[in-house]
Chains A and B, each alone.
Chain A
Amino acid sequence: MLAYLARRLALAVLTIWAITVLSFVIIKLPPGDYITSYIAQMSASGGFVSEAEVQALRREYGLDQPGYVQYLRWMTMVLHGRFGVALEWKRPVSEVIGDRLWLTMVVSVAAIVVTWALAMPIGIYSAVRQYSTGDYVATFVGFIGLAVPSFMLALILLYLGFKYFNASIGGLFSDRYAEAPWTLAKVWDLARHLPLPTLILGFAGTAQLVRIMRANLLDELGKPYVVTARARGLSEWRVILKYPVRVALNPFASTIGYLLPYIVSGSIIVSLVLGLPTVGPLLLRALIAQDMFLAGTIVLLLGVLTVVGTFLSDLLLLWIDPRIRLEGKQ
């Protein structure tokens, strides 16, 4: 078990390192550097940057140094919680991102919870009542879920909501809470707005998990131990829930590692369509304005949080599945 844990931890650290390098590459990729953008920004707003100031800035950011030194400097900055200045806002990046990062994570994690909560009962039902009307409906909806990208689903729902209810279904807060400080009422407001975006985000994942759950459970249901349990006179629900479902659940837990990056990824684009105050719209604006410090930081933080989330889900898996716990002992 410790060996497993150590392996996962090492991999997580390695992944985080890869993400920092990639984020740095994204920051460095466009022609010019931070200073040229800064100068352009200043002269656009009628300001003036003296040559001495430029030199000082270049030295401060280490832009006259080779790439790896710049990377190390940037990493030190990041580790101290300084992410640079967002050009467009003229405020520190961390301030601009603010709550948005957490809201992104709240939406994504909620989407995973919804995915699980829906996929499990539907999958079990589909397998136990194979070829029933409900099963066909679930399969059909599942195929739609696989085929409709989440942002398209958001667009379609947005249109339907507008046409039939004449209401905008976007956003995460009502107007009066949008800029308000965090209170219990605001949290409640958030909770009321969450279901729709999470459903949209979780739809594709749910469809996939239902299919996995159904196939696994069907395999298990045909096995002799199920017949034995039934012959022993256990009630039907007990027979199904106590044994085969537990076995079928395993791939369920292990796919979460791929589900989280997928959903975080989807949340960026869905947020844009639904106007959610997550990092999605911010990232897009930053990229279009070539505000690379902001963009790189968002990519970095999203990546790191995703890896941490995946690691936590690995711990969860460890707790659920005794086979993994025992792996190290053999």
Chain B
Amino acid sequence: MWWRFRRHKLAMVGSVVVLLFYGVVLFADFFAYAAPTASEAQRSLLPPQPLHWLDGGFRPHVYGFSGRRDPVTLKRVYTPDPAKKIPVRFFARGFEYRLLGLIPADRHLVGVEGAAAEETLFLLGTDEQGRDLWSRLMYGTRTSLTIGLLGVTISLVLGVLLGGVSGFCGGGFDTVIQRVIEILRSIPTIPLWLGLAAALPSSWTVGQVYFAITLIISLIGWTELARVVRGRFLSLREEEFVMAAELAGSSQARIILTHLVPSFSSHIIAATTLALPAMIISETSLSFLGLGLRPPAVSWGVLLQQAQNVQALAISPWLLTPAIPVIVVILAFNFMGDGLRDAADPYGH
């Protein structure tokens, strides 16, 4: 299967991108250079600072800026100051964190020489509260992608369990589960999610809301996986090796776990990969509407919430940047999933 997958170029590119993103998930603190909550009204809605690479040799730097309030529009205006060069260094020291939650560290991918990066460096600009968008994007990636992964895991357990029962036992079970799936799929999901999400008590902590949202998303997400698993069960049940195992006296559980599941695990992996983007979009949509994760949690949806209306977009278009990783990661997952599916089932199409 691996060899067939390797031949699929787009899928390989997709997988590399996905791996990179999960690298960010693991080392978000390293890639960020400012704490996600570090805010400062004095630098609200600062536009991105372009990074200059050369200054008589390889010396990456950004320009300093001076901000003042426009007397007519009352909006803060920033002018870059080319005389004030802020040297940018790689692997510089910054705020302290724990690598992977264990190892104390203070190195970051980028930093500023001789000054705190939080105060001077804003590669992607800042939001209304003056928080650095790049750093928040890194932390948002961590939240959004782990929610996707967790949600898909719950869906997978539900899908394999219910789809397996449905396909293997058939009969009444099958009918009931199939009807439930059909009903769930014919209800518009967003209103339903919104209703459920809005009912979460506002006193809940960030962690509780996180798990609740994940659960709400996966309540719908399992149907597609269950369909795939059931389909595989139905076709495999008739195979000779299953009958052979039955005649040899294997128990049902043994047949399912040691004979059936391994023979369609590749399909499940493919279906799971294809289900992940939907999870990520769901979380992003819910948070975007303000009913998903709530600040101080940072996720792509929470970040995009600030770009919700034309006025905000017109003044500060850089608030739309979190849309880019969403699109890229969804494309990557789709390519990877397509490749996996083709590799798992070369005659499937």
A interface list, Cβ under 8 A from B = 11, 14-15, 18-19, 22-23, 26, 29-31, 143-144, 146-149, 151-152, 155-156, 158-159, 162-163, 168, 170, 215, 219, 257-258, 261-262, 264-266, 268-269, 272-273, 283-284, 287-288, 290, 295-296, 298-299, 302-303, 306-307, 310
Q: Which of B187, B290, B314, B320 contacts A155 (CB 8 A)?
A: B320
Across the interface, name the chain A residue whose C-beta is closest to B286. Answer: A269
Q: Is residue B196 contacting chain A, with contact meaning CB distance below 8 A?
A: yes
Q: Which of A26, A162, A295, A298 contacts B314 (CB 8 A)?
A: A162
> C-beta contact mask, B84-120 vs A, less than 8 Å → 1, else 0?
0000000000000000000000000000000000000
Q: Is residue B201 contacting chain A, with contact meaning CB distance below 8 A?
A: yes
A148–B327 contact, CB under 8 A? yes
Sorted nearest first, the 7 A-B pairs with minimum C-beta distance are A29-B199, A26-B195, A287-B198, A265-B190, A265-B188, A264-B188, A147-B331
B289–A272 contact, CB under 8 A? yes
Q: Is residue B334 contacting chain A, with contact meaning CB distance below 8 A?
A: yes
| Cβ of B29 to closest chain A Cβ, rounded Å | 27
A-B contact pairs, 10 of them (CB 8 A): A152-B327, A159-B320, A163-B317, A258-B186, A261-B188, A264-B191, A269-B285, A269-B288, A295-B195, A302-B188
Determine the distance from Cα of A258 to Cα of B224 in the docked complex, in whole angstroms.
Answer: 12
Q: Which of A152, A156, A269, A310 contacts B289 (CB 8 A)?
A: A269
Known: A273-B308, A287-B195. A14 touches B288 (CB 8 A): no
A26–B201 contact, CB under 8 A? no
A269–B190 contact, CB under 8 A? yes
Determine the distance from Cα of A215 to Cα of B289 in the docked complex, in whole angstroms.
Answer: 36
Across the interface, name the chain B residue whose C-beta is closest to A266. Answer: B190
A299–B191 contact, CB under 8 A? yes
Contact count A vs B, C-beta below 8 Å: 137
A287–B194 contact, CB under 8 A? yes
Q: Which of A266, A283, A288, A303 contacts B187 (CB 8 A)?
A: A303
Known: A29-B199, A262-B188. 5 other contacts (CB 8 A): A11-B183, A23-B195, A30-B201, A258-B186, A261-B188
Q: Which of A148, A152, A258, A288 contacts B198 (CB 8 A)?
A: A288
> C-beta contact mask, B284-320 vs A, less than 8 Å → 1, else 0?
1100111100000000000010011010011001001
Known: A158-B310, A168-B310. A258 touches B185 (CB 8 A): yes
Known: A143-B334, A273-B308. A307 touches B186 (CB 8 A): yes
Determine the distance from Cα of A257 to Cα of B183 in the docked complex, in whole angstroms.
Answer: 11
| Cβ of B340 to closest chain A Cβ, rounded Å | 16
Taking chain B's interface residues, is the majority helix, strand, or loop, or is none over half, making it mixed? helix
Known: A149-B285, A162-B310. A18 touches B187 (CB 8 A): yes
A152–B326 contact, CB under 8 A? yes
Determine the distance from Cα of A303 to Cα of B331 in the docked complex, in whole angstroms.
Answer: 30
A306–B188 contact, CB under 8 A? yes
B281–A306 contact, CB under 8 A? no
| Cβ of B53 to closest chain A Cβ, rounded Å | 28
| Cβ of B2 to closest chain A Cβ, rounded Å | 24
Q: Is residue B182 contacting chain A, with contact meaning CB distance below 8 A?
A: yes
Across the interface, name the chain A residue whose C-beta is closest to B187. Answer: A303
The total of chain B residues at the interface (CB under 8 A) is 40
Q: Chain B residues near A26: list those with CB within 8 A.
A: 192, 195-196, 199
Determine the distance from Cα of A11 to Cα of B182 in the docked complex, in whole angstroms.
Answer: 8
| Cβ of A104 to closest chain B Cβ, rounded Å | 10
| Cβ of B266 to closest chain A Cβ, rounded Å | 21
B185–A261 contact, CB under 8 A? yes
| Cβ of A95 to closest chain B Cβ, rounded Å | 20
A302–B349 contact, CB under 8 A? no
Q: Chain B residues near A149: list those with CB within 8 A.
A: 281, 284-285, 326
Known: A155-B307, A258-B185, A272-B289. A29 touches B196 (CB 8 A): yes
Determine the distance from Cα of A31 to Cα of B201 in the docked complex, in whole angstroms.
Answer: 8
Determine the distance from Cα of A143 to Cα of B338 in the docked complex, in whole angstroms.
Answer: 12
Determine the distance from Cα of A287 to Cα of B307 in the docked complex, in whole angstroms.
Answer: 21
Q: Chain A residues near B185: list those with CB within 8 A.
A: 257-258, 261
Q: Which of A148, A156, A310 contacts B320 (CB 8 A)?
A: A156
| Cβ of B9 to closest chain A Cβ, rounded Å | 14
Q: Chain B residues near A295: list those with CB within 8 A.
A: 194-195, 198
Determine the distance from Cα of A70 to Cα of B334 in the docked complex, in whole angstroms.
Answer: 46
Determine the distance from Cα of A257 to Cα of B186 in the docked complex, in whole angstroms.
Answer: 7
B179–A14 contact, CB under 8 A? yes
